[in-house]
Amino acid sequence: NAGVTQTPKFQVLKTGQSMTLQCAQDMNHEYMSWYRQDPGMGLRLIHYSVGAGITDQGEVPNGYNVSRSTTEDFPLRLLSAAPSQTSVYFCASRRGLEQYFGPGTRLTVT
Amino acid sequence: DQQVKQNSPSLSVQEGRISILNCDYTNSMFDYFLWYKKYPAEGPTFLISISSIKDKNEDGRFTVFLNKSAKHLSLHIVPSQPGDSAVYFCAAIGLAGGTSYGKLTFGQGTILTVHP
């Protein structure tokens, strides 16, 4: 049971480039979400999904897209990276109240 | 509008003493509260939770207290150990509807350092 996995662990992008952060879980959880962690800001919700085919915006969705074609996968897309998107990104899945987080992706946009 | 606030960015405690981490919230629709612990280069992990119908929940060295009238909760760690050094996040969720329904809202985190 791998839990929640994220790839890549580290990424450096130039302003304007696009990329997809991958997230997968093997716990058959319906609820998945993406957070970003910034100093002094805690964990802020970007997008979430309550099941395959259903996504919704969180607190800071601008500049990010998501899709949920399967229960297992919940990729996060940056269409045109900006320096303000430099952050650590965490994917999480949940059944009930206990949420499981992946190890994170550290993204730097120059 | 920060609905969950941890006003102390850091806390330093001697090994064996009590650590008290505080959290305040503004949304009265929150009815479940959780604490997560995060080590560097790892994702947060669940530590302990409390329902809004209770005022205390205990799990080993960890106790969470909830004061609904003050919209305040605290995490007590007794005795503190060096391995407890981590970032602690408070989180809240609404289960009965409203804008907080189903979504975990986190505080800014408090860095706890336990000195040997």
pLDDT tens by residue, A54-94: 999 999 999 999 999 999 999 999 999 999 999 999 999 99
Residue B101 pLDDT class (50, 70, 90 cuts): low
- Is the model's pLDDT at B100 over the cut of 60? no
- Collapse the DSSP code of A58 into the 3-class scheme (helix H, G, I; strand E, B; otherwise coil) and give the result: coil
Round to whole Å and give the CA distance between B17 and A104.
Answer: 32
Cis peptide before B79 (omega within 30 of 0): yes
- Is the model's pLDDT at A102 over the cut of 90? yes
Contacts of B31 (CB under 8 A, 6+ apart): B51, B52, B53, B93, B94, B95, B96
- Is the model's pLDDT at B107 over the cut of 80? yes
Q: Which residues of A touch B41 (CB under 8 A)?
A: 103-104
Residue A41 pLDDT class (50, 70, 90 cuts): confident
Nearest-neighbour CA in chain B from A85: distance (Å): 18
Nearest-neighbour CA in chain B from A88: distance (Å): 10
The amino acid present at B116, given as its one-letter code, is P
pLDDT tens by residue, B89-99: 999 998 766 55
pLDDT of amino acid A45: 94
Contacts of B62 (CB under 8 A, 6+ apart): B35, B47, B48, B75, B76, B77
A99/B104 CB distance under 8 A? yes
Round to whole Å and give the CA distance between B90 and B44.
Answer: 11
Please give the average per-residue pLDDT across A26-44, as a whole number: 93
pLDDT tens by residue, B18-66: 999 999 999 888 989 999 999 999 999 999 999 999 999 999 999 999 9
Nearest-neighbour CA in chain B from A25: distance (Å): 14
Residue A27 pLDDT class (50, 70, 90 cuts): very high
Q: Half-sphere exposure (CA, 13 Å, Cβ side) for A66?
A: 30
Q: Which residues of A touch B45 (CB under 8 A)?
A: 101
pLDDT of amino acid A96: 83
Residue A8 DSSP code:
-
pLDDT of amino acid B108: 95
In this structure, what is the dihedral angle of CA atoms B92, B93, B97, B102, given to the nearest 10 degrees? 150
Beta bridge partners of B33: B50, B92
| Residues A94-105: b if buried by 16+ CB within 10 A, e if exposed | beeeebbbbebb
User: And the tokens for B5?
Assistant: 């606030």
CA A73 to chain centre: 11
The total of other beta-carbon atoms located within 10 Å of residue A13's CB is: 19
Please give the average per-residue pLDDT across B62-90, as a whole number: 98
Q: Which residues of B touch A94 (CB under 8 A)?
A: 104
**Bigger pLDDT: B2 vs B16:** B16
- Is the model's pLDDT at A40 over the cut of 90? no
Q: Which residues of A touch B89 (CB under 8 A)?
A: 42-43
A40/B108 CB distance under 8 A? yes
Contacts of B20 (CB under 8 A, 6+ apart): B11, B74, B75, B76, B77
Please give the average per-residue pLDDT across A26-50, as a whole number: 93
pLDDT of amino acid B99: 58
Q: What share of chain A is helix, strand, coil (3-state, %, to 5)?
A: 5, 55, 40
